Amino acid sequence: MAEIAPDQGRARGASLRARLRPTFIAPDRLRAGLRSVGWTIASLGLFALIWEFCWLMGWSDPKLLPPPHIFLGDIPNQIQFFNTATRWAVGVSQAEAPSGLQSLVTTVLSTMARVIAGLVIASVLAVSVGVLARYFRLFDRLTMPTIMLLSSVSPIAWLPVAVFLFGIGNGPAVFMVVIALFFHMVLATVTHIDNVPVNLIHVARTMGATKRQVYLRVIIPAILPAMLMVLRLNLFGAWMVVLVAETTGVGHGLGQIIMLARNTFNPSLVFFTIALIGALGFLTDYALRILQRRLLYWLPEKGTRHAL
Amino acid sequence: MPSDYRFSSRDAVVCRGVGKTWAPDTPRAHLALTGIDLDIRPGEFVVLLGPSGCGKSTLLYLIAGLEDATEGVINFFGDPVEGPSSDRSLIFQESSLYPWLTVWENVAFGLSIRGASREERRAAALEALREVGLVSAMDKRPDELSGGMRQRVAVARALAMRPKVLLMDEPFAALDVQTRQKMQDFLQDVWRESGASVLFVTHHIDEAVALSDRVVVFTSRPGRIKTIVENPLPRPRDPFSPEAEALRRQLTALLRDEVDRAFAEQEGMGD
């Protein structure tokens, strides 16, 4: 044992250093990050510039397509509309109602909570069903045809069902997110299980692993990278469907703001909300990307293996 | 080191009339292997040589117990093979290490399946890694290693289970020529140390000449044993000796007919 101790110590030191690395921002990493931010600003700026130019030349009607400086210019006024819960409630004086900023935060957090709850429930259910389908032949034969059939139904068709089952409020909104993601995620899970390199399974079997051990220690870690990618793609789907679901009436919610803007003919508010949703979608995707990097420590950094 | 069975008269693996039909009872049914009679002695190094698609890898899978033979029986130290066992370790052509585990965790994977403690696993992994000379890489991840190192880790993982037979399915085929040469020397050391029998599949004649005690030459489609050639060359081997050259020539002639036949069949299919 004594002869290998220094070797072992060195190896452990190296791995410790590797583990510490992400907490410090290396100069090259910082530069790459800044460059990426720069391009994001350039891309958004170009788009805004074209829009502003069209407004300046009088090609676009500011009443229908108000350019960014109009819909982002008067934020205190815009966020007054975010109090969809008590603004028109009978017997609540406007003085006691939450301020614009409070309403904005409540609205954003309510919608975000529905997205995250729906995403978590859908992925847990879908991965469980997908794994069970591959584990038990009978379960596969009994469930897969139905799942296949229902996966082509647009989530919009489920909206009445959501209301029948859960009335109005958070229930139907979360249900809509779950139903929109569930079927696709089951199919994705099954596909990724089928694509696990067969040698990884053979190795475990020759070492005497039971079917259960093969699933827990080989198949699930092997599909994790692909499943997190599926989760990221479905995050956008969740954002899309949550707005539709929120139009059924949920108190606070970005879907309510869009409905309000439509009913009161307020294009400025529509674009403000769209900008807000875009930013939120971007931020949640960024958060998932960080989670992905932390959880999948064994994968190379994005882009390092790209051919071009 | 379990060397007590090294000179035992009992055979490690006995195949009698072994055959395999893929997808039987379907229109795609296809006979891959038939009528294999083969005895492998404990501690013997046997090379299975044949053109691609001759079923030699299939035989390895049958002996490993990952697939069931559709004809004949396979015995392992007197007991029929009825499924995979850690006494028969399989090493694949492509890296089959788990990318989410470190090198030592990969090596100890089989022990963790058995529920060994962390200390036990670490000690066993260290010993196996020492045998393949990779102790310094124990905390690395597989994608930080070169192809040759990854295959050495795969060998260490197999050795950690103290197998009686090592089944190797073209393990060096994905490596460059220089690395392969190194790996052949390395494998001979490991084999001598472990006392296990090795069943080594390849289509490289040089590899067969360098490694084998016996070379089993396969025919193609369906795979049958064409002939078994004893390799009398003394170890350590000189690949440029006249005897090695003669053996190489003999094996080349035996294989040429099979490759020609396989080509003719493929051309026939193309029409």
Higher pLDDT, A1 or A58: A58
Higher pLDDT, B154 or B94: B154
Q: pTM for the full model?
A: 0.77
Tell me the C-alpha distance between B250 and B177, whole Å: 23
Higher pLDDT, A201 or A27: A201
Tell me the C-alpha distance between B95 and B98, whole Å: 9
State whether B136 and A11 contact (CB < 8 Å).
yes
Judged by phi (left if over 0) then psi (alpha if -120 to 50, else beta), residue B91 lies in beta
- Return the domain boundaries, chain B: 96-162
* CA nearest to B156, candidates B187, B178, B182: B187
Torsion angle (degrees, nearest 10) of CA B106, B107, B112, B113? 80
What residue in B sits closest to A298 (Cα-Cα)?
B100
Residue A298: both structure tokens together: 């064994």
* CA-based max dimension of chain A: 82
The answer to whether residues B71 and B34 touch, using CB atoms and an 8 Å cutoff, is yes
Tell me the C-alpha distance between A274 and A105, whole Å: 16
User: CB-based contact (8 Å) between B89 and chain A?
Assistant: yes
Higher pLDDT, A274 or A73: A274
Tell me the C-alpha distance between B156 and B152, whole Å: 6
pLDDT number for residue B69: 85
* Confidence category of residue A228, pLDDT binned at 50, 70, 90: confident
Averaged pLDDT, B129-142: 86
Using an 8 Å CB-CB cutoff, list chain B residues near A217: 109, 112-113
State whether A4 and B84 contact (CB < 8 Å).
no
B71: DSSP letter: E
Q: Which helix (H) or strand (E) holds B47?
A: strand B45-49
State whether A205 and B143 contact (CB < 8 Å).
no
Torsion angle (degrees, nearest 10) of CA B137, B142, B143, B148? 80
State the best of A1, A19, A206 to mutate against chain B, taking most chain B CBs within 10 Å.
Answer: A206
State whether B96 and A202 contact (CB < 8 Å).
yes
* CA nearest to B135, candidates A3, A9, A4: A4
Using an 8 Å CB-CB cutoff, list chain A residues near B90: 202-203, 206
Q: Which helix (H) or strand (E) holds B224?
A: none
State the best of B92, B139, B140 to mutate against chain A, taking most chain A CBs within 10 Å.
Answer: B139
Phi, psi of A180 (to 5 degrees): -70, -30
State whether A208 and B157 contact (CB < 8 Å).
no
Tell me the C-alpha distance between A5 and A11, whole Å: 10
Residue A290: both structure tokens together: 């960080």
pLDDT value at A145 more than 90? yes
Reported as a single tens digit per residue, the pLDDT across B24-60 is 888 888 888 888 888 888 889 999 998 877 788 888 9
Averaged pLDDT, B72-93: 86
Instruction: Look at the block and give the residue holding tokens 């085929």.
Output: B173
pLDDT number for residue A97: 66
Using an 8 Å CB-CB cutoff, list chain A residues near B115: none
Averaged pLDDT, A153-181: 89
B12: DSSP letter: S
Regarding the domain with residue range A105-295, which homologous superfamily does it belong to in the CATH classification?
Answer: MetI-like (1.10.3720.10)
Judged by phi (left if over 0) then psi (alpha if -120 to 50, else beta), residue A253 lies in left
- Return the domain boundaries, chain A: 105-295
CB-count exposure of residue A280 (10 Å: 0-12, 13-18, 19+): middle
User: Interface pTM (ipTM) of the complex?
Assistant: 0.84
Residue A293: both structure tokens together: 């990097």
State whether A205 and B66 contact (CB < 8 Å).
yes
Candidate from A206, A208, A299 with C-beta closest to B114: A208
State the best of A3, A15, A207 to mutate against chain B, taking most chain B CBs within 10 Å.
Answer: A207
